[in-house]
Structure 1
């Protein structure tokens, strides 16, 4: 019996969960690099495994890949949803997919790290200090500024709460947001255009779907103040990357704090890497040591139960949403 743990970039899956506690006939292999692109190439790497343990949505599992994995019987995935697994095909093939129970997300913490890094020029001053310089730029205060939150779900509401604690004016919008929900989060519901016009910091906090891909683009950047910032810890495709690059290059906005991108890992020659008015993180907002431990231990228990003939935390998905292989 062979199990593959995919996309363990930080090489911590084996440390945070005791995979050796599985029966002796079970062999676990950790993939610490991104699998090569292409369904056929990935199939060659995974064809010999009976079970896959995936790390969020880093490796899509569409039908064209899964049908080339004849031994595959089980998939474990963090949380109880995954946009890039073809659940319809899994049901057809009898492949069981199980998840992990939810815990509070740490994403809002990194969101505020990005906001503060931009306001206080943390990365600029850090580089200057290492170059032997002293006091080269001046930061700004966030108290009294306007925070615009797109989406007041579980994480967006936490972002709004901290904004209020900092003494900011919090405004919010999403397609289905009600005035009552905004009030619950101590925010003011405004129109989408007004949010982009008024906010000093725009935070994207909606999930990726057909409705939200490209939600922020050239029109929205044209409305923003030249000293305003965009922060995106949600999903890359929600923001039009070309429009954002142009807005940053032409100083239509002051800067951006990003944790997510259209293509991940971010290509080494991507324009974002050369723009001085960005703070870039490698999609780690939800990936803390504590969160990883919760996920990997939860998926280990999924695997253990499956090996014993039990199914726990089964995910009944509705089908693949997006995948690039």
Structure 2
């Protein structure tokens, strides 16, 4: 597109993994690529860091690009997001400034795998037992057997369906609910369709959230639904933090209304050690690891590289705006 060399910044490369996940040498002829490991949360600092960037690769929704930020980056021509959707990017503002936004493919399997890691960790008290044995303790908890119990899924898309298969393999009764789920699609996934969201929360021994965050689903899991859960039941969220009313969750934890909750997503990320949810021993927290695997990163950044090469050739691909 131009004979001048371009600058590219790959943001939020927390594990310093992006450089090894793709053959960036393919850009040596035209683009200088820098990898930023830090999370830059302050808009002013982000704008300063990206002043000379013609291309930015944003890793999922870790960094927000609102209209004001985009307006302050006059050199920006291409914004690549890993995944084919990014709620942290103002797509209309980018389009109005002639900034191309391209995406990459993604795979739901890693998030389904983490969901089961969290369910099993809670059910068998893996973290306190592992820490306990190092401190000289031996068998301090009673496990929560999964076979014969009910797994309730809120959302039965790619990730929810994968989680359902494992639940069935464990001998669980699997039920699901979503606004548009019908009996035929539920049967195809090998699950029961719950008659209502309330019925799902009443019957579930483990409730796992796999819904898309929309204005309609924000705060979906509220005080009413949490109040319907069994005191012995567990809640898991590897989808989006906004699906749960956080104040209502804190209230139910305070009164021992549920056995535990596992969270991989938070309202503000990276979250801080003073997050009020961390005051409860029954909260198992992980730092948004759902998609963070070697295979996913290889797909993300190899396709981000493809997006950049296509843009340089004047034929952008996977355009989202």
Q: Take 1:21 and 1:268, find their aligned partners in 2: how far apart are those partners?
A: 40
Match of 1:159 in 2: 163
Residue 225 (1) aligns with residue 230 (2): yes
Q: Take 1:81 and 1:105, find their aligned partners in 2: how far apart are those partners?
A: 17
Shift in Å, 1:226:
0.4
The 5 A counterparts of 1:255-270 are: 255-270=260-275
The 5 A counterparts of 1:1-325 are: 1-37=6-42, 39-190=43-194, 191-316=196-321
Q: Take 1:32 and 1:252, find their aligned partners in 2: how far apart are those partners?
A: 40
Helix, strand or coil for the counterpart of 1:272?
Answer: helix
Shift in Å, 1:18:
2.3
Q: Flag structure 2 segments of 5+ consecutive residues without an equivalent.
A: 1-5
RMSD between superposed Cα atoms in Å: 1.4
Change (3 A) 1:174 1:62: same
Q: Take 1:91 and 1:277, find their aligned partners in 2: how far apart are those partners?
A: 45
Shift in Å, 1:275:
1.7
Deviations 1:33-58 (A, max 9, x none): 11132x33321221211110010111
Q: Take 2:276 and 2:210, find their aligned partners in 1: how far apart are those partners?
A: 23
Deviations 1:73-92 (A, max 9, x none): 01111122222211212222
Q: Take 2:236 and 2:298, find their aligned partners in 1: how far apart are those partners?
A: 27
Shift in Å, 1:187:
1.6
Q: How many residues align?
A: 315
Q: Is contact 2:41–2:63 with CA below 8 Å preserved after alignment?
A: no
Q: Flag structure 1 segments of 5+ consecutive residues without an equivalent.
A: 317-325
| TM-score for both structures, normalised by structure 1 | 0.93
Q: Take 1:26 and 1:284, find their aligned partners in 2: how far apart are those partners?
A: 30
Match of 2:3 in 1: none
Shift in Å, 1:102:
4.1
Shift in Å, 1:177:
1.5
Helix, strand or coil for the counterpart of 1:8?
Answer: coil
Q: Please, which moves more after superposition, 223-232 or 128-137?
A: 128-137
Helix, strand or coil for the counterpart of 1:106?
Answer: helix
Q: Take 2:78 and 2:144, find their aligned partners in 1: how far apart are those partners?
A: 51
Helix, strand or coil for the counterpart of 2:56?
Answer: strand
